[in-house]
A and B are shown apart, each in its own frame.
Chain A
Amino acid sequence: MRPAGGLSRGGKRQVAVVRFALETVSPATMTDPRYAEIEGHRPYLVRYALSQLRDAQMAEEAVQECLVSALESLSSFGGKSSLRTWLTSILRFKVVDLQRRASADRARLEPTDFAAEAGDDAWLDDLFDETGHWREPPQAWSNPEAAFEQRRFWETFERCLDRLPAAGGRVFFKREIAGEDTDTICKDEGITASNCWVILHRARLQLRACLETTWFGKEATAR
């Protein structure tokens, strides 16, 4: 079962982007069996780029540059890591590069991003009362793994990811979904390890609340 969800985002335009990328490579590469396999990873790569850039056009640009680079250097892919891991490592550099180029805009658009998300603990007061207790205690989710088999669950999961604050969405995706190590994430984001932990703590609390409201809550009342 494929967690589809927003992986389909981009639709026809994305297909056009990949075709363009593929047409720019040599015929020798096009006969490589991994050429078709790369196409299969495109939806994930688009999702990764969107989580980091939150801009469809920039995400397309990053994925396109990634695919062109990947196809050009396909012969250097030794198969030591999985193809997806290799492609993601190329994409990560493209994304960081685009973020740097857009950093002036980013500073203007989200001036308080990190201040609000990592600067202090005030946000915790919305979730915990003055004695440190849950304001809305987490419920027991019965047999949650069954949700993995449901396409609608993955759509809900992606919607909840999209609702995270910008830095939370970027860091959570890199840490938990792409499985990058904290040091690498800190370096890319230009933040300290403890900022990173605060952002992840907050993102996890927000995600679990979102899933409880939009998926497990609904399920619970339907049962």
Chain B
Amino acid sequence: MEKKPPPGDPVDCREASRLLSAAYERKLTADESRALTYHLDRCFMCRNFDSQLKFLHAASERFRSE
């Protein structure tokens, strides 16, 4: 388990989850995007969360259109 963020990681999982969710409502700033990409490249847990948000979004769309 990657328990500690690598040195230089600008965001932790808590903040990364906030940005991943916010991206569905607004465009992230360049700094936010960069920080998030850096974190996601190194954290499989947040990559899983990212995939799960995509799944929730797809499930919701499906729920609406059926």
Q: Are A197 and B22 in contact (CB under 8 A)?
A: yes
Give the residues from 186 to 223 in chain A that come closer than 8 angstroms, CB to CB, to chain B. 193, 196-197, 200-201, 204-205, 207-208, 211-212
Within 8 Å CB of A176, what residues of B? 24, 56-57, 60-61
For A1, A201, A212, the residue with the greatest tally of chain B CB atoms inside 10 Å of its CB is A201
Within 8 Å CB of A128, what residues of B? 12-14, 17
Looking at chain B's contact residues, is the secondary structure mostly helix, strand, loop, or mixed?
A: helix
Q: Are B58 and A134 in contact (CB under 8 A)?
A: no
Q: Are A141 and B57 in contact (CB under 8 A)?
A: no
Among B3, B44, B53, B64, contact of A133 (Cβ-Cβ < 8 Å) = B3
Indicate with 1 or 0, residue by residue over A59-92, a CB within 8 angstroms of chain B CB atoms.
Answer: 0000000000000000000000000100000000
Interface size on B, as a range, is: 35 or more
CA distance A141 to B62 in the complex (A): 18
Q: Are A131 and B12 in contact (CB under 8 A)?
A: yes
Q: Is B27 positioned at the interface, with any CB of A under 8 Å from its CB? A: no
Interface size on A, as a range, is: 35 or more
**Closest residue of A by beta carbon distance from B16:** A132
CB distance from B45 to the nearest CB of A (A): 4
Among B15, B21, B46, B52, contact of A141 (Cβ-Cβ < 8 Å) = B52
CB distance from A181 to the nearest CB of B (A): 9
The contact sample of 29 A-B pairs, CB cut-off 8 A, is: A1-B66, A3-B62, A3-B66, A44-B64, A124-B14, A128-B17, A132-B5, A133-B13, A141-B52, A144-B52, A144-B55, A147-B59, A148-B59, A148-B62, A175-B24, A176-B61, A177-B63, A177-B64, A178-B64, A182-B25, A182-B26, A196-B25, A201-B18, A201-B22, A204-B56, A205-B17, A205-B21, A208-B49, A211-B52
Seen from chain A, the residues whose Cβ lies within 8 Å of a Cβ on chain B are: 1-3, 44, 84, 124, 127-128, 131-134, 137-141, 144-145, 147-148, 154, 157, 175-179, 182, 193, 196-197, 200-201, 204-205, 207-208, 211-212
Given contacts A44-B64, A176-B60, 7 further A-B contacts (CB under 8 A): A128-B12, A131-B5, A133-B45, A138-B45, A141-B55, A178-B64, A179-B64
